[in-house]
Amino acid sequence: MLILGIESSCDETAAAVVEDGSRILSSVISSQIELHKPFGGVVPELAAREHLEKIDPIVDEALAKANVNLKEIDAVAVTQGPGLIGSLLVGVCYAKALAFGLEIPFIGVNHIEGHVFSVVFENPAIEFPAFALIVSGGHTNLFHIPEAGKYKVIARTRDDAAGEAFDKIAKMLGLEYPGGPIIEKLAKEGDANKIKFPIAKISDGRPDFSFSGLKTAVSRYVRENEIEKVGEDKVVSQEIKDIAASFQATVVKSLMKNVEKLADQYHPKTFIVAGGVACNSALREAAELIGNRLGIPTYFPSKHLSTDNAAMIAAAGYFHLKRGERSDLRMTADVSMRLQNLENEDAELKRKKVRYRL
């Protein structure tokens, strides 16, 4: 079964051709990083316009690289949400029109579920129950997955996503967007034990994540120690490198602390770590270590599949299509789509006025 995957939820226009849900014939990504760099973050309107320009040529390129023509495609899988509305709509409308014209099935895929499926290409089969830590610019969630397709959020961020924290700290230090890769690079030359930044404690005792306190702590440290931002000359001081290393270590520690605690309760057999922040080698090392301690394998996607891509969307789409699920032409983009179909605690959290992110 050949699936054309389409992803346009944020600032990457991507298309991929995937065979039987696990063999990538092509995966093409057009990143908008350069477009948004001057603004220090993604500008939604610009992103949507750029998707519109790029989607057709990117799909053509994916088909050409896979050496297949449109008539050979069996189904289309497209990111339905969550994401930016203008960006999502471009992919959704394109996918619907294409599937309608070709008279083939199509399916809307949850972007976060896509990230979970990003590990299926390069790792042995997932053993369930599994844990999936999805860490990206928009999301920081730990899922308990008792069986394929069933998701329970067992930890979530109360404020910033992990990747967002990297991006904001980078901006604060005068570094470029996106912050994650730059902070990781500088951290390699810095001392992670130099500054003790706090790990957030959640007052109601839930095993959630929080990064806004860390952001404030870094900001205070910079102010109190009169640290100079990186300027036009791009010269990075040792102090900045130490901040990068100490900040990164704190993020990694706070993510891993909850994973380990919850693993004692849920006994996962596989630990999946995916999303843009999963590119981070310090996080990879720490996650590997936790997996070893728990006696379970840790699966990561390679870098190309860690950040937003369409192969993961095709893989998740394949899983649903195989189960007979289909979307119809009434399907539309869902900005705040959730990935939680098991013991959903949303209502309880709302009742208790717990503020949290997706």
Residues at the interface with ligand KG4 (CB under 6 A): 10, 136-138, 163-164, 166-167, 178-181, 184, 275-277, 279-280, 307-308
Instruction: Please state the closest distance from residue 26 (CB atom) to ligand KG4, in A.
Output: 19
**Smallest gap from residue 164 Cβ to ligand KG4 (A):** 6
Alpha-carbon distance values, 157 to 167, 196, 228, 248 (Å) = 16, 21, 30, 16
For ligand KG4, the closer CB: 249 or 296: 249
CA 143 to CA 145: how far, in whole Å? 6
- Vertex 74 angle, CA 68 and 78, to 5°: 95
Question: CB atoms < 10 A from the CB of 340, how many?
Answer: 18
Paired tokens of 358? 């997706």
Min CB(134)–ligand KG4 separation in Å? 8
* Nearest distance in Å: CB 136, Zn ion: 4
Minimum Å gap between C-beta 321 and ligand KG4 is 23
**120's tokens:** 């299926």
Least separation in angstroms between CB 184 and ligand KG4 = 4
Strands 23-31 and 130-135: unpaired
DSSP 14-41: EEEEEETTTEEEEEEEEE-HHHHGGGTS
For ligand KG4, the closer of residues 270 and 307 by Cβ is: 307
Indicate which of ligand KG4, Zn ion, none lies near residue 187 (CB less than 5 to 8 Å, by partner kind).
Answer: none
Which does residue 208 bind out of ligand KG4, Zn ion, none, counting CB within 5 to 8 angstroms by kind? none
Nearer Cβ to ligand KG4, position 157 or 280?
A: 280
Q: With respect to Zn ion, which residue has the nearer C-beta, 159 or 308?
A: 308
Distance set, CA 193 to CA 21, 162, 243 (Å): 43, 20, 10
Residue closer to ligand KG4 (CB basis): 179 or 190: 179
| Smaller CB separation from ligand KG4, 139 or 296 | 139
Size of the site for Zn ion (CB under 5 A): 2
Interaction between residue 8 and Zn ion (CB under 5 A): no
Q: Which of residues 115-144 bind Zn ion (CB under 5 A)?
A: 136
Least distance (Å) between residue 308 CB and ligand KG4: 4
Torsions phi, psi of 91, nearest 5? Answer: -65, -45
Three-class DSSP category at 109: strand
Contact partners, residue 245, CB within 8 Å, separation at least 6 = 186, 187, 188, 189, 190, 191, 192, 194
User: Residue 114 is inside which H or E element, if any?
Assistant: helix 111-117
Binder of residue 181, out of Zn ion, ligand KG4, none (CB less than 5 to 8 A by kind)? ligand KG4
DSSP 296-348: S-EE---HHHHSS-SHHHHHHHHHHHHTT----TT----TT-----SS--HHH
User: 184 or 308, CB closer to Zn ion?
Assistant: 308
Least Å distance, CB 308 to Zn ion, is 4
The answer to whether 308 contacts Zn ion (rule: CB under 5 A) is yes
277 interface partner picked from ligand KG4, Zn ion, none, CB below 5 to 8 A per type? ligand KG4
Judged by beta carbon distances under 5 to 8 A according to partner kind, the member of ligand KG4, Zn ion, none in contact with residue 114 is none
Cβ closest to Zn ion, residue 141 vs residue 254: 141
Q: Is 147 exposed, middle or buried (0-12, 13-18, 19+ CB in 10 A)?
A: exposed
Q: Which residues bind Zn ion (CB under 5 A)?
A: 136, 308
